[in-house]
Structure 1
Amino acid sequence: MDNPDEHILAFGLRNDVGSWQLHLESEDDFEFHYAGFKSPHIHNLSDLVQLNLGTQARKIGRLELSDTSDGSPNILVFQISAMIPFKADVAFVSGSSGSNSRTKERIRSLVGDSLSRRLEQKQELFDDKFQKCFNMSDEIDSESITVSKAALGNLLGGIGYFYGQSIISLPPSSNLEHGDKYISYWPAELYSAVPSRPFFPRGFLWDEGFHQLLIWRWDVRISLDILGHWLDLMNADGWIPREQILGAEALSKVPSEFVPQHPTNGNPPTLFLVLRDLLCGIKKNKFTASEREDISIFLRQAFVRLDAWFNWFNTTQSGKDVNTFFWHGRDNATIRELNPKSLSSGLDDYPRASHPSEDERHLDLRCWMHLAADCMHSISEFLEDDVIGKEYGLTVELLSDFELLNQMHLDNANGAYFDYGNHTEKVRLSWRVVETAGSFPSRELVREVLEKPVLRLVPHIGYVSLFPFMGRLIPPGSWILEKQLDLISNSSTLWTNFGLRSLSKTSSVYMKRNTEHDPPYWRGPIWMNINYMILSALNHYSKVGGPYRERAKIIYDDLRNNLIRNVVKNYNQTGFLWEQYDQTKGKGKGARLFTGWSSLIVLIMAEAYNDC
């Protein structure tokens, strides 16, 4: 354009960037309109725009924005109308208080052919770094590479900065004034990736460990920064709130019942997955000298908090028997849930003991504790702290005791591992008519128990059953390993052509709703994070000596190919990675644009697992 001032979309002044201007540049004919809104929330922007357009349509008979602004707007929306094909560049120029000719020069460097050349250079740099970081083999076709780059790019693009205060629930015994049930956490900042920018734009503790398995490979310093922010959220007891709802925008997206965080409840300590990877990387000389130094400094500074975090789990989540653990927070008085949820486990409606109690032993938490203890032992050795290292070494020995694990969790009849607790299979949801004074009778689904529960193994084969396998706690020569491979590869239990389902078809609650309003979540659909962990274990067992090595390799190859093929197919059909995938047809389900742990498909393509 001859006159760069002709299409200044917006301008302003900030202390951090100085004067700024936003320009729209195009060689094609177009018209544009705008509207300014003042809103505390981004998520209601569509409603504001539609209301503005509707008003204009009634007033002038056209769907165009009003070219007006609310007082002191914080959001500007622009509408561009043109005949297609149409090209336009939007240039943001900061520090633009100099001469007009200088501004014109800067704009020209940011638009048109100049911008295209810069974008091509950046694309080449990204492609080169992507190959260097993930070293994709020639077997991965260009179509799959495109999907993997989109997955990584969106995960990295979802990293954000949050600031605010969590709402913390208080136990009934608290003696605060006015009978308060909640208090505010301290004002805190969080630098974190998110599971999904449109649907879950906030930090989730157990998701973040999986996110960082990719991010550290791209930029280890970004990963260390994020890990440090999460550890900074730890309270004096060693507890970290599992869901970070920081600020008005995040709060507006969460149902009120899920906002309070409970200091009695944990979340899988998946950050140890990343720390284990980093230690392995140091051992295998995968880092530069400066990166190794940064990791060393981080581990030394973070050790006290990591130790406190482990001890919080070891004390607050311990079971009645030594070296047993259970997820706190399950509702033992519910009358509406088919199986009381274990939200703190991250597996939500995955079936546990039908009647929550302190007698429970949760298999997955025991295995998370083994991972954490083993990682802390390795960190202690790396930092040359022999005293603490010895203590953690003893904990690792106890939690990796194969005979003890089998005594507590193994069903010898079929070689499957289960939770233990107060359980009966004869529970169902039944319709009940509820009459309320002054209104019509209504129906609701109510939990009905048809048999007294007893202490026993909880016979539901699924992801939880495979945690000892994922933790590589089963000796490669054990008959139990063969049984695990049977469960994984059997289409009547977990195997599908799209990945491993979360719950076996043989389970009494397979694909059953947990309440009238809660469809099955972890009761059949395929989840990428657990499939990645299972692939990692299959890869391990395919490389160690033992009678099942070759079979593990065959299952590994088939499962990996199924996952890659299905994710790529869904992406090509919809343009999205999905939160979960249907176990019958492979179709993406749940939240779309879920480029959190579903991005682990990149590591699956790259065959990037912890192999120490």
Structure 2
Amino acid sequence: MAGTSRGSTRSRASKSSTENPQIRNPNRILRKDKTRNNSLIRIFSVNLKFLIGFGIIAFAIAILFICTLINPMEKPQKPRVITPLPAPKLMDLPMFQGAHRESLYWGTYRPQVYFGVRARTPQSLVAGLMWLGVKNERYFMRHVCQDSDELKQYGWTSHNGRDYGHQVLSEQTMTLTTSFLKSKDHGSGYGGDWAVRIGVQSNESVPDEEMLKTAHLFFYVADEGGKSLTLGSRVLDIHGDSILASGSRSDIGDWQLHLFSEDVSGVHYSGFKTPHIHNLSDLVQANLAVQARQFGHLQLSDSSDDSPSILVFQISARIPFKADIVFLSGTSTRDSRVEERASRLTGTSLTSLFSEKQKEFDNKFKKSFILSDELGLEPVTVGKAALGNMLGGIGYFFGQSKISLPSISTPNAGDNSVLYWPAELYTAVPSRPFFPRGFLWDEGFHQLLIWRWDVYISLDIIGHWLDLMNIDGWIPRELILGAEALSKVPEEFVLQHPTNGNPPTLFLALRDLISKLKKEKFAATEARDISVFLDRAFVRLEAWFKWFNTTQAGKEMGSYYWHGRDTATIRELNPKTLSSGLDDYPRASHPSEDERHVDLRCWMHLAADSMHSIAELLKMDKDIKKEYSSTAKLLSDFKLLNKMHLDTANGAYCDYGNHTEKVQLTWKIVETGSNYPRREFIREVLEKPVLQLVPHLGYVSLFPFILRLIPPDSQILESQLDLISNKSILWTDFGLRSLSKTSSMYMKRNTEHDPPYWRGPIWIPLNYLIVSSLHHYSQEPGPYRERAKTVYNELRSNLIRNIVGNYKRTGYLWEQYDPKKGKGKGARLFTGWTATVLLIMAEAYHEV
């Protein structure tokens, strides 16, 4: 574009010099001036000093004028990396306004806490639950999800993503349940009302000790905008009134928070004023500690800061007990309907509503995910928990991401970073205790479930992600928005790098939607809205595709490599490839621009083919269709694929790059500049690397199989089936391991502190993709059809049995599974892409 501008300038200058006769013949001016030479000299001699002074002043004025035009005091132009793509936003589509937007206004959109409610708006009114758990006869505060709390089990057993959810939280000494429900009544404000029922039961075989017979819950309400809240009469001991707190907001009008419980006699409270609520549990603990030291009881101080923006209510009662907490919006009308609305959301009426919603959830689950009776009841329970936690783990975040600017010096950014524009994100999350934020490549797997349950929630989430695209077509791979999200992220992972991508897995879900549209599997209104969505999304998807196709392209036509690998590391056995999503999966030992990554090549084929399908569906210009068709054809060229990546010795596909196997980590004494040298694990290269296929077999070796680029009659397909089913390579009785047992990197640490991650453990999303393709090839005519069917049935059975067994023993779905014994490992409550086990159970596979 810049070259075009410069060319246009040159053309205009040439044209002007040709059309102006004085400029065309400059000698004419000189001749004319010579006729007036004497008079000019006389004037000049008389006023020499004046003219010199005048000239200096005129020159200064001219310089000032030019400087004013340039305006050096003006802020530098916004860097491209934080400039939004100039295209209509998907979230401005009519389908996401009106009733849809209001129906999703309130929700359990705070996945990082055990129970929390907020609205899909910045500076929301938020609510949440804390409680005191007992362990080894000591009290511990529970609020933010964390493994160190050692809950036996927690998570949503059912959740519909909109207006209902039921959660079980099993402590050492008691079990809590939180049931959430929304209601839109006549007279309620925007978004309606909501209620939560908290139940507390004692666990069996708990010692008969006094401290274990009473439960201490702390329910709070806070205004993120800092607006003050008003204490209700319930906590001021006015008999017969249920109001805990009240206030007013421009979005929902006047509101009230009520408590109804026959088991709770008194409520204590404390008020706080703080700019953030992520440290609220610390404030409550400090308040309780002061009370315990001074008065000898666990009781809030019944006091508050002036004009508190947070109110915390202590609800203590003998176990068992239950309490209904009701939030009413639009309460300014002083008529009986407010009381009627409150009573409808409490007691037996609320019980009936919960029962109806649970029945609706069960029926819809049965219809959306058809599970064979042969699986039995336990897999159904696990499937519902997988879906419930996926939908219950959807969060809403608002804030600014921190973006690196490695080659640009910006004012007030000594670390060469800059903030992305303020943005909102509505997204599912991988894991509530460990990763309660948005991850781009996880989200494509999440949407494979969510679109089957509620296509509008799915489109809403995908739209939020695509609206985060910058002018170059880049989307941050990890979104850390707001103080609560930031509080859960180690500092080294906060900065996002605009040179690095993430697998474009959103195309997995979009491709499914396109396929179902073509098969007319949607209702007429849904089909129309999906088409409208794709039509507006096309410019963003196109920019995203072109970002990959230019920034991640390799040296050879049709080759790609993941950027972001550390070329100078001395502490990693194999430099990580975080942008690929496979982290420490072994690539070429020495990162370089000569690399070719087979997984990225296959992702690009999926993206190009999906873009072509969207263009066809929308009946776009033939040149657009041809562009993507040609790219997809190039990337599906089987001969070219094999030439670039096939290891003919074992029929496996490999990366290509500057590589040597003679690399190890050894302990060395490192001088630190102080008097005390340090002993560190340092990378040692014992052999010069050469350009070659990288001889590691694992998930990457199967990507052409995963994305079905291998013809069903090719002998290479047989080799891939051998690779999958070989117990000495990838096969286990619990699923396929991520890296072959024969690899020199198998289960090897990557640094002193980094245990193997994608170097052997079993990961469910890649197993899902492999099972999907096995199912595909078992349906395709060819000599390996029956073999594919046999391997498919065995692998599917192994995965289901192991995941269900782990859930039964531990109460959780896990991030990964041990290849030796099948035990769940890594982050627990990992109901992000591990939830794709439900799709395996239902044999609901992605389209390619």
Return the alpha-carbon distance in structure 2 between the equivalents of residues 316 and 5 of structure 1.
67
Pick one of 804, 808, 813 that aligns with 1:572. 808
**Do the aligned residues in 1 keep the contact of 2:560 with 2:596 (CA within 8 Å)?**
yes
1:28 maps to: 263
1:592 maps to: 828
Aligned partner of residue 87 in structure 1, secondary structure:
strand
Pick one of 326, 331, 336 that aligns with 1:91. 326
1:308 maps to: 543
**Do the aligned residues in 2 keep the contact of 1:577 with 1:594 (CA within 8 Å)?**
yes
2:780 maps to: 544
Aligned partner of residue 254 in structure 1, secondary structure:
coil
Q: CA deviation at 1:358?
A: 0.4
Gaps of 5+ in 2: 1-233
Return the alpha-carbon distance in structure 2 between the equivalents of residues 555 and 404 of structure 1.
28
Q: 1:229 and 2:464 equivalent? A: yes
1:590–1:169 CA distance, 2 compared to 1 (3 A): same
Q: CA deviation at 1:31?
A: 4.5
Opposite residue 506 of structure 1, the aligned amino acid is: T
Q: 1:323 and 2:323 equivalent? A: no
**Do the aligned residues in 2 keep the contact of 1:280 with 1:610 (CA within 8 Å)?**
no
State which drifts further: 73-82 or 429-438: 73-82
Return the alpha-carbon distance in structure 2 between the equivalents of residues 593 and 245 of structure 1.
20
Pick one of 791, 802, 806 that aligns with 1:555. 791
Q: 1:113 and 2:348 equivalent? A: yes
> Where do 1:425-436 residues align within 5 Å?
425-436=661-672
Q: 1:270 and 2:270 equivalent? A: no
Opposite residue 749 of structure 2, the aligned amino acid is: R
Gaps of 5+ in 1: none
1:419–1:250 CA distance, 2 compared to 1 (3 A): same
Q: 1:139 and 2:337 equivalent? A: no
State which drifts further: 177-186 or 122-131: 177-186
**Do the aligned residues in 1 keep the contact of 2:572 with 2:683 (CA within 8 Å)?**
yes
Aligned partner of residue 322 in structure 2, secondary structure:
coil
Aligned partner of residue 257 in structure 2, secondary structure:
strand
Q: CA deviation at 1:82?
A: 2.3
Q: CA deviation at 1:279?
A: 0.8
Return the alpha-carbon distance in structure 1 between the equivalents of residues 313 and 721 of structure 2.
56
1:214–1:252 CA distance, 2 compared to 1 (3 A): same
Aligned partner of residue 770 in structure 2, secondary structure:
helix
Q: 1:416 and 2:652 equivalent? A: yes
2:447 maps to: 212
Return the alpha-carbon distance in structure 2 between the equivalents of residues 350 and 34 of structure 1.
52
Return the alpha-carbon distance in structure 1 between the equivalents of residues 257 and 696 of structure 2.
58
Q: 1:183 and 2:421 equivalent? A: no
Q: 1:452 and 2:697 equivalent? A: no
**Do the aligned residues in 2 keep the contact of 1:169 with 1:260 (CA within 8 Å)?**
yes
**Do the aligned residues in 1 keep the contact of 2:511 with 2:847 (CA within 8 Å)?**
no
Return the alpha-carbon distance in structure 2 between the equivalents of residues 32 and 557 of structure 1.
57
Pick one of 610, 620, 640 that aligns with 1:375. 610
Q: CA deviation at 1:41?
A: 4.6
Aligned partner of residue 747 in structure 2, secondary structure:
coil
Q: Deviations over 1:401-423 (max 9, x none)?
A: 11111111111111111101000
Q: CA deviation at 1:273?
A: 0.7
Q: CA deviation at 1:71?
A: 4.6
Identity of matched residues, %: 71
Opposite residue 358 of structure 1, the aligned amino acid is: E
Opposite residue 19 of structure 1, the aligned amino acid is: D
1:67–1:565 CA distance, 2 compared to 1 (3 A): farther
Return the alpha-carbon distance in structure 2 between the equivalents of residues 210 and 38 of structure 1.
40
Opposite residue 550 of structure 2, the aligned amino acid is: T
Q: CA deviation at 1:268?
A: 0.4
State which drifts further: 593-602 or 468-477: 593-602
Return the alpha-carbon distance in structure 2 between the equivalents of residues 378 and 163 of structure 1.
33
Q: CA deviation at 1:518?
A: 1.4
Aligned partner of residue 65 in structure 1, secondary structure:
coil
1:474 maps to: 710
Opposite residue 296 of structure 1, the aligned amino acid is: S
Return the alpha-carbon distance in structure 1 between the equivalents of residues 611 and 445 of structure 2.
18
Aligned partner of residue 90 in structure 1, secondary structure:
strand
1:61–1:162 CA distance, 2 compared to 1 (3 A): same
Return the alpha-carbon distance in structure 2 between the equivalents of residues 317 and 150 of structure 1.
38
Q: CA deviation at 1:439?
A: 4.7
1:447–1:62 CA distance, 2 compared to 1 (3 A): same
**Do the aligned residues in 2 keep the contact of 1:40 with 1:249 (CA within 8 Å)?**
no
Return the alpha-carbon distance in structure 1 between the equivalents of residues 300 and 697 of structure 2.
56
> What is the TM-score normalised by the length of structure 2?
0.69
**Do the aligned residues in 1 keep the contact of 2:278 with 2:483 (CA within 8 Å)?**
no
1:329–1:71 CA distance, 2 compared to 1 (3 A): farther
**Do the aligned residues in 2 keep the contact of 1:242 with 1:267 (CA within 8 Å)?**
yes
Return the alpha-carbon distance in structure 2 between the equivalents of residues 225 and 426 of structure 1.
49
State which drifts further: 349-358 or 23-32: 23-32
Return the alpha-carbon distance in structure 2 between the equivalents of residues 127 and 478 of structure 1.
44
Looking at CA atoms only, which structure, 1 or 2, has the larger radius of gyration? 2
Q: CA deviation at 1:255?
A: 2.1
Aligned partner of residue 321 in structure 1, secondary structure:
coil
State which drifts further: 405-414 or 555-564: 555-564
Q: CA deviation at 1:49?
A: 3.2
Q: 1:392 and 2:624 equivalent? A: no
Return the alpha-carbon distance in structure 2 between the equivalents of residues 384 and 117 of structure 1.
49
Opposite residue 169 of structure 1, the aligned amino acid is: S
Return the alpha-carbon distance in structure 1 between the equivalents of residues 847 and 493 of structure 2.
38
Q: 1:241 and 2:481 equivalent? A: no
**Do the aligned residues in 2 keep the contact of 1:577 with 1:598 (CA within 8 Å)?**
yes
Aligned partner of residue 139 in structure 1, secondary structure:
helix
Opposite residue 844 of structure 2, the aligned amino acid is: A
Return the alpha-carbon distance in structure 2 between the equivalents of residues 471 and 147 of structure 1.
28
Q: Deviations over 1:123-148 (max 9, x none)?
A: 11111111222222222322211221
Pick one of 751, 754, 759 that aligns with 1:523. 759
Q: Deviations over 1:174-208 (max 9, x none)?
A: 35457751122222222222212332222111111
**CA RMSD across the alignment:** 2.1
Pick one of 359, 364, 379 that aligns with 1:129. 364
1:258 maps to: 493
1:508–1:37 CA distance, 2 compared to 1 (3 A): farther
Return the alpha-carbon distance in structure 2 between the equivalents of residues 483 and 141 of structure 1.
34
1:350 maps to: 585
Aligned partner of residue 375 in structure 2, secondary structure:
coil
Pick one of 488, 510, 527 that aligns with 2:746. 510
Q: CA deviation at 1:611?
A: 4.6
1:56 maps to: 291
1:501 maps to: 737
Opposite residue 757 of structure 2, the aligned amino acid is: Y
What is the number of residues matched between the two proteins?
611
Return the alpha-carbon distance in structure 1 between the equivalents of residues 254 and 335 of structure 2.
13
Return the alpha-carbon distance in structure 2 between the equivalents of residues 369 and 478 of structure 1.
22
State which drifts further: 329-338 or 47-56: 47-56
Opposite residue 571 of structure 2, the aligned amino acid is: R
Return the alpha-carbon distance in structure 1 between the equivalents of residues 239 and 441 of structure 2.
49
1:373–1:119 CA distance, 2 compared to 1 (3 A): same
Return the alpha-carbon distance in structure 2 between the equivalents of residues 250 and 416 of structure 1.
41
1:151 maps to: 386
Aligned partner of residue 82 in structure 1, secondary structure:
strand
Q: CA deviation at 1:216?
A: 0.9
Higher normalized strand content (fraction of residues)? 2
Opposite residue 536 of structure 1, the aligned amino acid is: S
Aligned partner of residue 321 in structure 2, secondary structure:
coil
Q: CA deviation at 1:231?
A: 1.4
Return the alpha-carbon distance in structure 1 between the equivalents of residues 412 and 272 of structure 2.
39
Q: CA deviation at 1:296?
A: 0.9
State which drifts further: 480-489 or 276-285: 480-489
> What is the TM-score normalised by the length of structure 1?
0.95
Return the alpha-carbon distance in structure 2 between the equivalents of residues 541 and 42 of structure 1.
52
State which drifts further: 433-442 or 394-403: 433-442
